[in-house]
Every structure is written in C-alpha cells, then in structure tokens.
Structure 1
Amino acid sequence: MTRYEPAVDLNAITALDVHVHVESDDHGHFALDEELLDASAAYFKGSENRTPSVQDLARRYRDAGMAAVVFTVDATTATGHPAISSEEIAQAAAEHADVLIPFGSVDPHQGAAAVQRARHLVQEYGVRGFKFHPSLQAFSPDDPAFQPLWAALEELGVPALFHTGQNGIGAGLPGGRGIKLRYSNPLLLDDVAADFPGLTVILAHPSVPWQAEAISMATHKANVYIDLSGWRPKYFPPELVRAAGGLLRRKVLFGSDYPLIAPERWLADFDDLGIDTAHRPGILKQNAAHVLGLR
C-alpha cells in the first residue's frame, strides 16, 4: 500500500482548488446513480468531463498549473448506492502528490464503524481531511449521535468540509429525489464548531439561502472557513463578495466544484469581482495551504 504524503510545491502552482469531485473509479463505478448525475449536469449546464477519475483530475490540474483537493461522498445508507472507495482515491492520489490532495469520506450513519474508518484513512492512507454532504447523506450535523465522529476528526487534526446551502444534486426531480435542503443549513454546524474548537470546519459553497448565517459563523469562530465553490463568482451574493474582499479575506478558499464548474471559468469570473489584487494570492492558494498544513 502506498501512503499519501503531500508534495505540492506552492511556488509551482497558480491556485489550489479545495473542492473537486472524483466521480468514477478504475472499476467503472460512478459516485452517483445515472438519474442524479444527469440532474446535476443539467443544473450546472455540464462540463467537459462528467465523471473524472483520479488520473483524469491529476492530468487536468497539472496541465492547468494548479493543485486540487479531491474526494467523493459516501452516502451509502441514504441513497443505497455504494460509494467510490476513499482508500483507492488516496492511493491513486499518492501517485500524483505534486498536484492532488486526497480527502476521505465516511458514512456518518455507520456510527462507530465510521469513526474507526476515519482514523484508518488518516493514519494508514494519509488523507488530509474529510468531505460531508448532510443533505445527500441525510443527517443533521448537530445531532449528538455524530459527536464521536467530530471528536475523532478533531483529535486527528484534519479539517471537515461540509456542503452547505442550495443543492444541485436532485435539482429539478420530483421531491428533489427526497434530498432535504434543511440538513445543509450552515447554522447546524455552528454547534459542531463551538463544541469542537480544535476542528477546522469548512462551509462549502455560497450558503444560499443562508449566506448571512455562514458569514456570521466565519466571522465569529476562528475555526470556521468558507470555500467559494459550486457557484460561478458572477452569481455570488453581494454580501459574500464584500466579505471575501474584506473582513473574511483570510477565511475564504478557492474551490470550483469540478467537474460541475471548470476552474478556469470560475477564475475568469473571479477576475471581474473587483477584489483587491493584493488579496488574490490568499484566496486562491495561501488560505487553503494554511488550513491544510502545507508549507
């Protein structure tokens, strides 16, 4: 087994994308079922590769002069669809450690087994954080039942990145395929950040319709950050643009949500926001490097 060890040279990249999905593996298995993949592609108007593998992502980001945090989401209990292996993602990323940083994902409904697996992924495979999607995984992050998992991640010293706000998965389908948006209200993570102050909590995406809540949390708690993925910057809520260029300029992280949004498209929009150029290196890679413990 090859354990991942980070080898990203920050001087050699222009940006560090903290939100990139592995959508297929080497066995022909996809992260979501076909109906959900199609709905997401329609919602985001697609991209050049709907189902990239780790190898696809390494090639793409190396060619673009960027690095990326890569992950899947384990929503096995909620969806009945087996997840892509986070262990295999970490091993594949180890072969491309100059441009890829693997996060793991565990199914919170698996209780003690999820805690054990999280420890194994960090200690044996070298993953650098974890991705959760409360709406897709159908759980409320503030439920005390999940506190052992947050305590373990705090002890392991790795960040937890949570989907927040509007959800493109299931969008336009009857009942949104049963996916409940309320689980992705960022305020449900305020308890997590307060009760586990040593755990870095990253609120993924503009948290529409709860953007003000997300900004308040990132302002109030030193361990809460916001990634800017999942929306093209030209559609960002005005209050987020003001915060990113001002009060929260050290608390926001570049993310694209590729393959749903191409990083180049995101960066082109970002250029037009009017954010002070002096703050751009922080937003595009330095803030993420700090959160991820990269030198």
Structure 2
Amino acid sequence: MLIFDMHTHCFPDALAPKALPRLAEISRCAYHGDGTYGSLCEEAAAAGCAGFMILHIATKPSQMTSVNNFAAACQKGNAYCFGSVYPTAENAVDELHRIKALGLKGVKFHPDYQEFFVDDPAVFPVYEAAAALGLPVVFHAGRDPYSPEVVHCTPKMLAEIAGRFPALQIIGAHMGGMEMDADVERYVIGKPNILLDTAFATRSLTPERCGTLIRKHGADKVFFATDFPWSTVSAEYALLRQAGLSEAELEMICHGNAERFFGITLSA
C-alpha cells in the first residue's frame, strides 16, 4: 500500500542539533533521526513512504521569511511543505501571499509554540486571507507536552473557527485534539470543512477508539500522519491496521485523500 505521511518536521542543519534535543527535554518525548531534512528523507525512504509533508513553524515574527524560504528549499521530489506565519505579526497576511507564490501547500499553526488562542479575533484576518488564497491550514489541536496545562486549540475552538470561516480548509492535527478525543467526538466530528490527521495517535488513542472516530467523521476526511521525529510510520500504521478499517478506507487514509486534496500523484 502506498503511504503518504501528512505530518512531519525537520530543522535546518545548523539548528537541528540544538533544537531537537531541547524540544525532547521540554516535552519528555523520545525522537527518531537527527532532526535534519536529510535524516527525514532517509527515514521516509526506509519506511517506504511514497511522499511526505513537512510542516514548518514560525515561532517568532522575525522567523517567517527564513522559515518559508527553508520550506521552499525542502519542497522537491516526493517532499511537500506547508509554510507558516506568526499570526499576530503585522505582515502575516503579506507572508501568506508569499507562501502562495512559493508554491507551498498550506500554512501550519502551532498555537502553543506561537502563543495564541485560535479563537482570538485578532487572528481572524489571517484565516480570512488563507481562505481567500485557497491555502489549507493545519492546527496543532489538543494538548501538547510543551504546554500541557494550557490548551490553545481545543476541539471546541477548532469547530467554532470552522463554523465562522466555512471557506477555510482546516486540518485538525492529532485526530482533532490530542488527549481530548471526547471533545473531538462532541464538537469536531462531522464538520464539513475539518479534516483530521493521525499524527502521533499512538500517544493517546487505542486502535478501537481511533477507528471509531475515523468512521464517524469519514475515512475520506482523514490523512495518515506520524508527527516524525516524534513517532514513526511503522508505529502509526500498525495502529490503523488494528482499527477495524476496510482496505478501501485504509487506501483513502494512507494516500488517496492526500493525492486528491493536494492534486499530487504518488508512485511506489
């Protein structure tokens, strides 16, 4: 079966040796590889990935240009990239236009790292601009080991944003809310403009629970994802294999949805 990993991360070579161990220490999470683009490509090839998406994060306004330039440099072959804007930056909307011009596939927000609540009206112009540009957005949703006590994007917030901006294509990472699956089921499931990814689902979901959420939301609205370097293709694929899904559903989740949504063609 073809595999497209919708949710991976890497750092510039000079930054990776410091950034990845530091994040691992703060989050108390083990990691795989060394955090570089080369390591990610090697791990993806070894896992048999036909393609993968790299989600970049600008954690300061001053990082937007360099982060998106790095994303553009990484987007080649079977590697695709989301750029990022710091949503409260004065030039965030201008940077969205540059992301579009660079050919990046969308925009990644990590509200915990970027220190904003996703339902803050101050960032609504950014959502409006992303929708107008046809740029899908990925939100880190639910808890994060980096900020375990303060959830900047709850499933309820995610659903409210989806309702307020119906033209905005939203991907709720971590099955719509890490460690908050009851709220995902209550607020997110069934929302027409929210898709989910399975990134690091092994952290908080059993195969049975993951399968239930997927079937209720629709397998046509779920992307396979790992959150590499924090998890691996083998671990997350094993979870899906045990989730009681049909082969047709697995085909959609593992590659078909990504090919259709992003207009890409994958090959073994």
TM-score per shorter chain, which class? 0.7 to 0.9
| Per-residue deviation, 1:88 | 1.8
Whether the aligned pair in 2 keeps the contact of 1:234 and 1:269 (CA below 8 Å) is: no
Task: Summarize the alignment of residues 32-51 of structure 1 with structure 2, pairs less than 5 Å apart.
Answer: 32=19, 34-40=21-27, 42-43=28-29, 45-47=30-32, 49-51=33-35
Q: What is the CA–CA distance in structure 2 between the aligned matches of 1:185 and 1:278, rounded to whole Å?
A: 31
- TM-score, normalised relative to structure 1: 0.79
* 1:213 matched to 2:183: yes
Task: Summarize the alignment of residues 1-295 of structure 1 with structure 2, pairs less than 5 Å apart.
Answer: 14-22=2-10, 24-26=11-13, 28-30=14-16, 32=19, 34-40=21-27, 42-43=28-29, 45-47=30-32, 49-53=33-37, 55-63=38-46, 64-76=48-60, 85-93=67-75, 96-97=76-77, 99-111=78-90, 113-123=91-101, 125-168=102-145, 170=146, 176=147, 181-206=150-175, 207-232=177-202, 235-236=205-206, 238-294=208-264
Q: What is the CA–CA distance in structure 1 between the aligned matches of 2:169 and 2:185, rounded to whole Å?
A: 15
Paired letter, 2:167: G
Q: What is the CA–CA distance in structure 1 between the aligned matches of 2:89 and 2:253, rounded to whole Å?
A: 35
Identity score, percent = 23
Q: What is the CA–CA distance in structure 1 between the aligned matches of 2:105 and 2:65, rounded to whole Å?
A: 19
* 2:152 aligned counterpart, secondary structure: helix
Paired letter, 1:192: I
Q: What is the CA–CA distance in structure 1 between the aligned matches of 2:64 and 2:95, rounded to whole Å?
A: 16
Tell me how large the CA RMSD over aligned residues is: 2.7
For each residue in 1:46-81, what CA deviation from the matched residue of structure 2 results, as whole angstroms up to 9, or x when unmatched?
32x14122x33234324424211102211126xx99
Aligned length: 262
| Per-residue deviation, 1:244 | 1.2
Could you list the runs of 4 or more consecutive aligned residues of structure 1 that deviate by over 4 angstroms after TM superposition? 80-84
Whether the aligned pair in 2 keeps the contact of 1:19 and 1:258 (CA below 8 Å) is: yes
Paired letter, 1:278: A
Q: What is the CA–CA distance in structure 1 between the aligned matches of 2:162 and 2:114, rounded to whole Å?
A: 20
Cα distance change on mapping 1:107 and 1:223 into 2, 3 Å: same
- TM-score, normalised relative to structure 2: 0.86
| Per-residue deviation, 1:83 | 9.1
Paired letter, 1:140: F
For each residue in 1:242-283, what CA deviation from the matched residue of structure 2 results, as whole angstroms up to 9, or x when unmatched?
131455221211000001101122112322222222211011
Cα distance change on mapping 1:291 and 1:187 into 2, 3 Å: farther
